[in-house]
A and B are shown apart, each in its own frame.
Chain A
């Protein structure tokens, strides 16, 4: 390897960068400057960052270098990372992709942010996202759409589209994301990277701006399952400040990565391979399944009979919870306030009417309607009953199989603008991911190939708290394939 190739740090995984840092072959300041320069050179067009925090990043990198020198460093010390702009970051704008919070400088750090800070990671900036995480294409952002690094006239997926695009374009070795109905897995699939949404309650939601509290879960997005395992080690764990965070021991997620897969039982839900799935995407996914067969796994047909209802159920649960969560944005304590309000009601309605974008307003109104007097039983109660049935389907499936596999999304990335006037067709791009959130299960997306130059993701879903197994299953695939190492041509 020549000197120049050695310095192509963006071609290295987080794990490889960690080794270089520990060995003193590169400093955190050098790495941080390297990635900041890449953001400078490439992001004007890509639009994956809302804020770049250069000064703080270099200060954090110096601290990381000191820790490496005095022997107090961990595996993540000095590695740069980008945070989705949904996580509160002390002293740094936290916009959630909305005009409502365009001027919001958070007075505190989210638990995820402070944990990764404690682990020595260096924040490069905050990534673009659909407004309040409501969207599947990153087009609802107040800061404009993010482009897909593979084909710039296409969407990167959403809502964690900025995080996915930044990692895919190698502007950051890793990023944080959140997933309410597929917002880590779907953009990971569209951009050809690896992302995991852990079990509901595994990672603290404190300081993560709430969308639908019973579904929201944070997770890492990176190049490989091994990278994600290291990040999850630092992100997971009990937090007193989140009442839904579960008090359960965090295993070392790298410990089982090397387990062989012989005898692994993989369930293939017939509902995930039926009508609506693009034929070329299906071919790619079947190809990945063949690879698993070669690794000794057994493929078993299963059924998730109620999964077809997950989109309708989600569009009651998520809007209902969002209408309650977003009532806090009233123009009184922080964020946007309209000009010259004539009275209190005028201030509330104009602040919210002007501060929120169209998709957010749609969802607040759907939720308000579903929760309004006389409609509770028909909508919210019914949806929670169906949620139970959807979870039961998974429970029965996991009596027969270890993991469930299928496509992450029914198609590859669509064109920017193609679905923006048609909410329903946009909602259906999360048809395979939503049920996992409704049941609270862990799920991940792994790059499995391409259709016409656009990445395809394989979705792997596990039983509660089986993140180690998911990462193991993904890692073994990545040892035998190199889809996850592919870099878009414009970012080589």
Chain B
């Protein structure tokens, strides 16, 4: 399985990763090698095999829908890159 530069750029866009143009050939080659490795899975027929979701077949635990954590906005926003009046600031989205 080999990817080309355009495919790698598309994947990078989906993953929200800026990759420098000069680094693209390196990723093309590494990612193609990794997908080649992964292709080995096709050697085994898995028709009808149940996919494993948990090693011990545990099911999702549920709990009462009640508040368990208090508001700690100031504590959490103290480590944010940019905040104002209790809000997280990002570049302008709406004109």
**Which residues of A pack against B, CB within 8 Å?**
103-105, 107, 199-201, 214, 240, 243-244, 246, 306, 309, 311-313, 315-316, 323, 327, 330-337, 341-350, 352-354, 356, 358, 361-362, 364-366, 368-370, 372, 379, 381-389, 391, 423-424, 427, 439-441, 464
Contact = CB atoms under 8 A, between A and B. Distances in A.
Interface string B48-81: 0111111110101101000000001001101111
Minimum-distance CB pairs A-B, first 5: A440-B55, A353-B18, A384-B51, A337-B81, A385-B46
Contacts of A356: 17
A296 B7 CA distance: 58
Given A214-B54, A365-B8, A353 B19 contact: yes
Given A309-B40, A362-B30, A440-B55, A389 B18 contact: no
A418 B49 CA distance: 39
Given A107-B76, A352-B16, A369-B31, A424 B90 contact: no
B12 A365 contact: yes
A439 B92 CA distance: 47
B37 A365 contact: no
B22 interface: no
Interface secondary structure of B, over-half rule = loop
Contacts of B18: 349-350, 352-354
A311 B51 contact: no
Given A201-B58, A315-B37, 4 more contacts: A352-B15, A368-B14, A382-B41, A387-B51
B33 interface: yes
Contact of A107 (B52, B60, B75): B75
Nearest to A383: B41
Contacts of A439: 55
B55 A243 contact: no
A347 to B, nearest CB: 6
B17 A352 contact: yes
B37 to A, nearest CB: 5
Contact of B51 (A353, A362, A381): A381
A8 B38 CA distance: 50
Given A200-B56, A312-B40, A384-B52, A372 B11 contact: yes
Contact of A424 (B16, B23, B33, B41): B33
Contacts of B91: 341-344, 346-347
B42 to A, nearest CB: 8
Interface string B2-38: 0100001001111111111001000100110111011
A424 to B, nearest CB: 5
5 contacts: A352-B16, A369-B31, A388-B52, A391-B55, A440-B54
A386 B11 contact: no
Contact of B44 (A315, A369, A370, A386): A386
